[in-house]
Amino acid sequence: VREQKSSSPMAPPPTLTLNNGYTIPQIGLGVWRMEPSLLHDLILQAIRLGYRHFDCAADYRNEAQVGQSLAEAMQEGLVRRDELFITTKIWNSDHKHVREACEDSLKKLQLDYLDLYLVHFPIAIRHLGIGNTDSSLDDDGMLDIDTTISLETTWHAMEDLVSLGLTRSIGISNYDIFLTRDCLAYSKIKPAVNQIERHLYFQRDSLVKFCQKHGIVVTAHTPLGGGMANTEWFGSVSSLDDPVIQDLAKKYGKTPAHIALRWGIQCNTVVIPKSSKLERLQENINVFDFQLSEEDMSMIKAIDRKYRTNQPERFWGIDLFA
């Protein structure tokens, strides 16, 4: 994996090279829980600011709005398709319907191909129909897990999408070391990316090192620790309030969010912060004009709490990460 730098501050961000030769921008915009009424303007403004990487998912239920915004941006000449990097994800209930799910996402996104298609979670649940991303629960209020399909079978269906030209790259999401190792063993096309929760309080060095050793780029979702949204949903604590991060922000004349994102960049990972505020879009992408010292990177390493903030157990009645 190598970093390719851009010169102009308004130019697209640096990229990392995937194991199939394609490149992925090192910073992107996540659209999970994005305010629907703001989504159109946010995406257009993000493109004007230099964002080229947009992280979507069937389960975010806004692919159609994202697609309309991207189509408008291309029609207006703000960006070309070959300059964009569009990621989306197959939902848990569609593991037996991989091609249909991918084609449904492509239709909503108004695209002929994806840059990256991910297995959203390493678990299959009862199918409810293409486009329906509800999570079915059983009579005990627990996630209705489908035990008749393996992750290996799902992965081989993902590989077929590459052969069909529906996506350039395929990857995994929320996979631990064990599941990632298995995927490497049974895959014909190796996963290009593992997208995981990763932030200052949940640094996951072992998983990151394992992925990078085996040519898998790590994308960090929730790179700011989830902020107010995760505090509201999961009662989590924000790492941006940590005294070490506050002091570093003062030292570099930056915000705590800048420090968190710059740390992720210097770890050779991709970061996909989410924001529903236009001013934050500008702030989050402005992380390429300074560098954290080795000493400061070591200080950040010391504040790791192994603290997961994203806990789907609240909705699924089962702790998949137990």
Q: What end-to-end distance do the CA atoms of the chain give, in Å?
A: 32
Distance CA 197, CA 286 (A): 22
**What are the backbone dihedrals phi and psi of residue 130, each rounded to the nearest 5 degrees, phi first?**
-60, 130
| Angle, helices 256-266/294-301, rounded to nearest 10 degrees | 100
The residue written with tokens 């096309």 in the block is 189
E strand or H helix that includes residue 263: helix 256-266
Tokens of 217: 């780029």
Q: Are 99 and 157 in contact (CB under 8 A)?
A: yes
Residues 228-262 as b or e (16 or more Cβ within 10 Å = b) = ebbeeebebbbbbebebbeebbeebebbbbbbbbb
Of 51, 60, 117, 175, which residue is the catalytic one? 60
CA-wise closest residue to 265 among 25, 18, 22, 23: 25
Q: Are strands 114-119 and 167-173 parallel, antiparallel or unpaired?
A: parallel
Q: Are 39 and 65 in contact (CB under 8 A)?
A: yes
60 annotated active-site: yes
Tokens of 260: 């968190």
CA distances from 26 to 50, 94, 293 (A): 12, 29, 19
Query: Quick count: other Cβ atoms within 10 Å of Cβ 73?
Result: 19
By annotation, the residues acting in catalysis are 60
